[in-house]
Chains A and B, each alone.
Chain A
Amino acid sequence: MKVTINTDEKATGPKKQRINKGPGKRKVSEPVAGHSFKKWKILRWSSLIFFNFAFFASFYFDIQLLEGSLSASRLLGFHMMDPFAALQIVLASKLILPNLVIGTVTVTIIYFFIGGRSFCSWICPYHLLAEIGEVIHRKLVAKKLIKNHTFDYKTKYFLYVLFLVLSFTTSYSVFEVINPVAALSRSFVYGPSILLFWVAILLAFEILYARRAWCRYFCPIGVSYNLIGILAPTKIKYDVDKCSNCKECQKVCMVPFVLIDTVSKGEKEYVTKGDCTRCGLCIDVCADEALSFSVRYLDKIM
Chain B
Amino acid sequence: MAEQPKKNFKVNRRRFVKTSTLFIVGAAAALGTGAVPILRSNEKRLRPPGALEENHFLASCIKCGQCLQVCPPKVIKLDGLMGGFSVGTPYITPREGGCILCSGLPCVLACPTGSLDHGISLGKEAEMGLAVLSKPRQCLSILGVNDLVFRLEKIQSSGNLVPDENLTDILQRLVEKLDDKETATWKEKFGLQEVTVKEVPRVLAKMNRENFDWLLSFTKDSEQAKVGCRICLEDCPIKDENPISFHKIKNEDLGKDVFVPTVEKTCVGCGVCEERCPTEEASITIVPRMKWKGNA
Chain A interface (Cβ within 8 Å of chain B)?
Answer: 58-59, 67-69, 71-74, 79, 81-82, 85-86, 89, 92-95, 97, 99-100, 103, 149-152, 155, 158-159, 162, 166, 169-174, 176-177, 182-183, 186, 189-190, 193-195
Which of B60, B68, B82 contacts A92, CB < 8 Å? B60
CA distance A96 to B28 in the complex (A): 29
Given contacts A86-B62, A151-B17, A176-B88, 12 further A-B contacts (CB under 8 A): A74-B66, A89-B60, A94-B59, A95-B60, A99-B111, A151-B21, A158-B22, A162-B26, A171-B59, A172-B36, A173-B62, A195-B87
7 nearest A-B residue pairs (beta carbon):
A72-B64, A93-B60, A97-B114, A92-B59, A93-B59, A194-B81, A68-B64
A227 → chain B closest CB, angstroms: 20
Q: Are B112 and A99 closer than 8 Å at their CB atoms?
A: yes
Q: Are B60 and A79 closer than 8 Å at their CB atoms?
A: no
Residue of B nearest to A73 (CB): B64
Residues from chain B with a CB closer than 8 A to the CB of A182 are: 63, 88
Interface assignment of B278: CB less than 8 Å from any CB of chain A: no
**A72-B112 in contact given A150-B14, A186-B88, A194-B81 (Cβ < 8 Å):** yes
Q: Are A193 and B112 closer than 8 Å at their CB atoms?
A: no
Per-position binary interface string of chain B over residues 72-107, scored 1 when its CB falls under 8 Å from any chain A CB and 0 otherwise: 000000101110010110000000000000000000
Interface assignment of B193: CB less than 8 Å from any CB of chain A: no
B115 → chain A closest CB, angstroms: 8
Residues from chain A with a CB closer than 8 A to the CB of B29 are: 162, 166, 174
Chain B interface (Cβ within 8 Å of chain A)?
Answer: 14, 17-18, 21-22, 25-26, 29, 32-33, 36, 55-56, 58-66, 68-70, 78, 80-82, 85, 87-88, 110-114, 118
CA distance A149 to B60 in the complex (A): 37
Which of B17, B36, B82, B112 contacts A194, CB < 8 Å? B82
CA distance A189 to B25 in the complex (A): 30
The 18 listed contacts between A and B (C-beta, < 8 Å) are A68-B64, A68-B65, A74-B66, A74-B110, A79-B112, A86-B113, A89-B59, A97-B118, A99-B114, A151-B18, A155-B21, A158-B22, A170-B32, A176-B63, A177-B87, A182-B63, A190-B68, A194-B80
Which of A74, A95, A166, A193 contacts B80, CB < 8 Å? A193
Residue of B nearest to A88 (CB): B62
**A195-B21 in contact given A67-B66, A97-B113, A174-B32 (Cβ < 8 Å):** no
Residues from chain B with a CB closer than 8 A to the CB of A89 are: 59-62, 113
CA distance A169 to B64 in the complex (A): 23
**A71-B62 in contact given A97-B114, A186-B78 (Cβ < 8 Å):** yes
Which of A67, A158, A174 contacts B69, CB < 8 Å? A67
CA distance A151 to B21 in the complex (A): 9
CA distance A200 to B51 in the complex (A): 33
Q: Are A186 and B63 closer than 8 Å at their CB atoms?
A: yes
A58 → chain B closest CB, angstroms: 7
B41 → chain A closest CB, angstroms: 13
CA distance A190 to B21 in the complex (A): 33
Which of B17, B59, B85, B114 contacts A149, CB < 8 Å? B17
CA distance A169 to B37 in the complex (A): 12
Residue of B nearest to A165 (CB): B29
Residues from chain B with a CB closer than 8 A to the CB of A158 are: 22
CA distance A272 to B111 in the complex (A): 37
**A170-B36 in contact given A100-B112, A100-B113 (Cβ < 8 Å):** yes
CA distance A69 to B111 in the complex (A): 12
Residue of A nearest to B37 (CB): A170
CA distance A186 to B78 in the complex (A): 9
Q: Are A59 and B69 closer than 8 Å at their CB atoms?
A: yes
CA distance A131 to B55 in the complex (A): 38
B194 → chain A closest CB, angstroms: 35
Residues from chain A with a CB closer than 8 A to the CB of B61 are: 89
Residues from chain B with a CB closer than 8 A to the CB of A59 are: 65, 69
Residues from chain A with a CB closer than 8 A to the CB of B58 are: 172
CA distance A97 to B62 in the complex (A): 12
A101 → chain B closest CB, angstroms: 10
Q: Are B112 and A81 closer than 8 Å at their CB atoms?
A: yes
Among B56, B88, B111, max chain A CB count under 10 A is at B88
CA distance A94 to B53 in the complex (A): 14
Residue of A nearest to B52 (CB): A93
A248 → chain B closest CB, angstroms: 25
Q: Are A166 and B32 closer than 8 Å at their CB atoms?
A: yes
CA distance A186 to B70 in the complex (A): 15
**A169-B33 in contact given A89-B60, A194-B80 (Cβ < 8 Å):** yes
Residues from chain A with a CB closer than 8 A to the CB of B118 are: 97
Q: Are B112 and A159 closer than 8 Å at their CB atoms?
A: no
Residues from chain A with a CB closer than 8 A to the CB of B85 are: 172, 177
Residues from chain A with a CB closer than 8 A to the CB of B82 are: 194
